[in-house]
Chains A and B, each alone.
Chain A
Amino acid sequence: MRIRPLIRPLQFRFGPVAGCIPGTVSRANLSTTIDPALAQSTINQDEIAHFSKLSALWWDERGEFQMLHRMNPVRMKFIREKMMALEDDLDALVTEAEVLQGRAVLDVGCGGGLLSESLARMGAKTLGIDASSSNISIASLHASADPFLDSSSSKQGKRKGSLTYKHTSVEDLLAEYGPASFDVVCSMEVLEHVDNPRGFLHSCAQLVKPSGHLFLSTIARTPLAYLITIFAAEDVMQRVSKGTHTYSKYVNPGELEGFFRTYRSPAPSGAPGRPWIASPRRPARTEAETRGMVYVPWNGEWVLAPRETTWAEGCNYLFWVRRPLE
């Protein structure tokens, strides 16, 4: 790898990266053995402080979060298309525009509410949660200007969606709402910021109803991702505030897949059900899917890479997995 000499000297600034030297992909992050510390909070206080400082910038579409704004339509497209493909009730003739209508959707780590607002506009009964109270304030303030989203507005009319924000962690929400509370759980660009990704995934997965969906997006732990998201975006171009990303926290698609090969939700009997991904080799189309997201600079837009374009999954990617019906 030609890029390694470039990266090595810079590593020191990002603290210990045990076993995560770029290019030597480690699976340590998401080992699938049962961890007693699962119930423990996954929130990283430094990360919360970092994003709170930025919260006022969430809705500056040309600023710090420009890339995230432009990524949003692609995330929504992925969610929409995946749910459409898996639409059980073929008689209902649901269109893509309606596929989220009336669904209970949780957005974990909603930030300024970029994704939450879109989900609500698509008709989902949306709950956005974030561990930073200033993010929740910004998100609420932003949505209150929009009669479409503001719950106090009488103008919601025929739209079935709703939007609520709550300052809480996914663990506390799980304790409060109980498992299997949502048709869809989303957590976009969050996994790479949490302390205990296994525990985090565990909590998210528990909140999903049987045959419900879990959507994640994050950054792969590859030299390419390091180069783009940290070296280029934070250091060279200074597009993104320093300290936004920590390389060692990046998670590879294979690791997510591995997690859900062993993760089982309890069956109604209480006994562990079947794992979310059961197909021996590649996950079945109806079980899970990874799709790369590629930024096309000359168009200024993100595109969803075609299925099984592995090179495109080397940086930003979307991951979808479905809880079995049992």
Chain B
Amino acid sequence: MLHNIARRARHKVLRRQFATAAEQTERDVVIVGGGPAGLALASALARSKSVHNNLSIALVEAGDLQKVRDWQQEPGTFSNRVSSITNSSKAFLEDIDAWSHIEQSRTRPVEEMQVWDGISDARITFAASELSTSTVNELSRLTENLNLQRGLLRHLSQYPEVQLFDKVKVQSIVCEAREENAWPVVHLSDGRAIRARLLVGADGFNSPVRTYAGIQSYGWAYDTQGIVATLFHAPKSSYQGPNTIAYQRFLPTGPIAFLPLSETASTLVWSTKPHLANALKAADPRILASMINAAFRLPNISLRYLQDRILEDQAMSVEQFTNELAFRERSDTIDVRSAYSSLAPIRDNVGGIPPEDADSVPPLVTSIQPGTVASFPLRFSHAETYTGEGSGARTVLVGDAAHTIHPLAGQGLNLGLADAEALTKCIENALLSGGDVGSYTSLLPYARSRYFENHKMLSACDKLHKLYSATAGPVVWARSVGIEVLNELDAIKAALMMTAGSERAGLPGQVGWELTAKSVETFAKNVNGARELADTVKDLLGVGVRQLLQRR
């Protein structure tokens, strides 16, 4: 009897669902994309009281969010997509109560950074203790993207009113046929259609929302791939500190970064030329591990030699490679006992007291977690605007849909989180004035607060990438003798410190920006010999950043 009623009730529910399936529904905010930016935006909106009282929210994601919710990883192993969450991003996630849903034991603080030049070996080191704010004792927190996304989904599960539609693709977006006040209608692959007061593109680089809005995106692909992998290594000895140092070496082919995840694991982001990336990915993982070790240790000339060997002979055995490596080390007079030798893990582990310079290079990679080697094309892009107009009205872009950046400062995801935070504030403010949150006027403050912020960071990273991959003229000469490099590194340092600072949007790392602007200017002055370069840099970084700063 009861059973029967239950069945009938279920039947009714099913029928109703079916009936609405072909219908068109309406939502105030439709977010396309359940990546970090889209989920963070949904979380922040869900958390806001005024949004809760006024707006209905839906998120559409092509992938399976249940897989993200159920994501588990063997202890000690890590996903290969890892981001360094800056202190300001972390503060935002704490504000919206989402940070506590992130599995803390899988995150790793960065307490110190070592950045050096691949040609001259000029080096800067900076630590969390240098931050202007005394309360933070870390520069950033390395967090697997999946850990973050799962945390955001857990947070969102407390807000069932935020509807998540996953495993459905946005098939098309059309502007409804209406004379006055036409809204976008999103057609999903399951036949449903949602009419959106505000359509948010959090849909990544190939953003369908951006295409619908008719917003151009400017930029270029770097002739560079970013190789990622999870690296295993021995724990640091008791003479050293914990594994909380991030390392980055600027090679002429692109920067290579080694970022800590645990005592015995770290993540790799190696930006390099595509053909080289392909050869490295195809090589025996033991060869790749040795190449990573060498890339942090060998002089650039020797490194180039080894790279050429790998390119020439893609079927090279591990033994052959080890011989080549040993040969290069001997000719570079690198003592096998020094921290700069890559051969230790291949021989028996050298125990005892670590060499004195042990902390100036990352721990030696002993193996690579199977299945984690992957690569992504790197590109610079920035949408010409963040808000649609005319027939593309009621649209706004966040995250990679709006901008993609070189990963050398680890900022891509952080910019997306900052976008989500700013858009939430903007929507809350619009509600307080009875504004239509889909209107151009309501969204204006969002674009105003984010566009130039993002642009400064995008161009800073772009210029730095170009400086380091410059292969001609006085720049290379200057680098080879290490004269000017420290100034360049200072700019990187400032950029990293700036976002590491815990100051929030509003007064975000004022000090940091001043520092960036200053060091960039000094740099620009110093390379005056290299005319064209100095001009671009001075224009784009020095003057540009200065003016923007003064406008704040």
Contact = CB atoms under 8 A, between A and B. Distances in A.
Interface residues of A, number: 33
Contacts of B360: none
B181 A142 contact: yes
Given A121-B435, A146-B436, A155-B26, A97 B53 contact: yes
B5 interface: no
Interface in B169-210: 178-183, 197
Nearest to A116: B434
A261 interface: no
A62 B435 contact: no
A120 B54 CA distance: 12
Interface size range on B against A: 20 to 34
A168 interface: no
Given A73-B435, A300-B448, A145 B53 contact: no
Interface stretch (B30-38, B309-317, B439-447): B439-447
A142 B179 CA distance: 9
Of the candidates A70, A80, A117, A146, the one having the most CB atoms from chain B within 10 angstroms of its own CB is A146
A20 to B, nearest CB: 33
Contact of B183 (A61, A121, A141, A145): A145
B431 A97 contact: yes
A77 interface: yes
A287 B435 CA distance: 28
Contacts of A41: none
Nearest to A115: B434
A59 interface: yes
A147 interface: yes
Nearest to A298: B551
A61 B433 contact: no
Nearest to B195: A147
A122 B50 CA distance: 11
Interface string A143-164: 0011110000001001100000
Given A62-B389, A69-B441, A97-B53, A77 B433 contact: yes
Nearest to B431: A97
B435 A72 contact: yes
Nearest to A66: B441
Interface in B428-461: 429-436, 439-442, 444-445, 448
B433 A72 contact: yes
Interface in A2-40: none
Interface string B11-30: 00000000000000010100
A91 B50 CA distance: 21
Contacts of B54: 121, 159
A220 interface: no
B182 A145 contact: yes
Contact of B180 (A72, A138, A147): A138
B433 A80 contact: yes
Nearest to A161: B434
Nearest to B55: A148
Nearest to A299: B448
A163 B179 CA distance: 20
Given A62-B389, A147-B26, A300-B448, A118 B180 contact: no
B434 A145 contact: no
A297 to B, nearest CB: 12
B433 A118 contact: yes
Contacts of B431: 97, 121
Nearest to B445: A301
Contacts of B432: 76-77, 80, 96-97
A119 interface: yes
Of the candidates B197, B433, B439, the one having the most CB atoms from chain A within 10 angstroms of its own CB is B433
B199 to A, nearest CB: 15
B433 A76 contact: yes
A121 B436 contact: yes
Interface in A87-134: 96-97, 100, 117-122
A76 B434 CA distance: 7
A122 B434 contact: yes
A191 B155 CA distance: 51
A300 B444 contact: yes
B433 to A, nearest CB: 4
A100 B389 CA distance: 30
A70 B434 contact: no
Interface in B28-58: 28, 50, 53-54
A61 B439 contact: yes
Interface string A29-70: 000000000000000000000000000000101100000011
Of the candidates B54, B178, B180, the one having the most CB atoms from chain A within 10 angstroms of its own CB is B180
Interface string B373-404: 00000000000000001000000000000000
Contacts of B448: 299-301
Contacts of B436: 117, 121, 146
A69 B432 CA distance: 15
Contacts of A159: 54
Of the candidates A59, A121, A159, the one having the most CB atoms from chain B within 10 angstroms of its own CB is A121
Nearest to B439: A61
A300 B441 CA distance: 10
A69 B440 CA distance: 9
A145 B180 contact: yes
Nearest to A140: B180
Interface in A300-318: 300-301
Contacts of B53: 97, 158
Contacts of A145: 178, 180-183
A117 B431 CA distance: 12
A262 B179 CA distance: 47
Contacts of B435: 72-73, 76, 118, 121
Contact of A62 (B50, B180, B440, B445): B440
A112 to B, nearest CB: 9
Contacts of A70: 441, 444
B457 to A, nearest CB: 21
Nearest to B393: A61
Of the candidates B179, B434, B439, B441, the one having the most CB atoms from chain A within 10 angstroms of its own CB is B434
A118 B434 contact: yes
B434 to A, nearest CB: 3
A159 B431 CA distance: 13
A146 B181 contact: yes
8 contacts: A73-B430, A77-B432, A80-B432, A97-B53, A97-B432, A121-B54, A158-B53, A159-B54
Interface of A: 59, 61-62, 69-70, 72-73, 76-77, 80, 96-97, 100, 117-122, 138, 141-142, 145-148, 155, 158-159, 298-301
Interface of B: 26, 28, 50, 53-54, 178-183, 197, 389, 429-436, 439-442, 444-445, 448, 551
Given A145-B183, A146-B197, 17 more contacts: A59-B180, A61-B440, A62-B389, A62-B440, A69-B441, A72-B433, A73-B433, A76-B435, A118-B433, A118-B434, A122-B433, A146-B436, A147-B26, A148-B28, A298-B551, A301-B444, A301-B448
The 4 closest A-B pairs by CB, nearest first: A118-B434, A145-B181, A76-B433, A121-B434
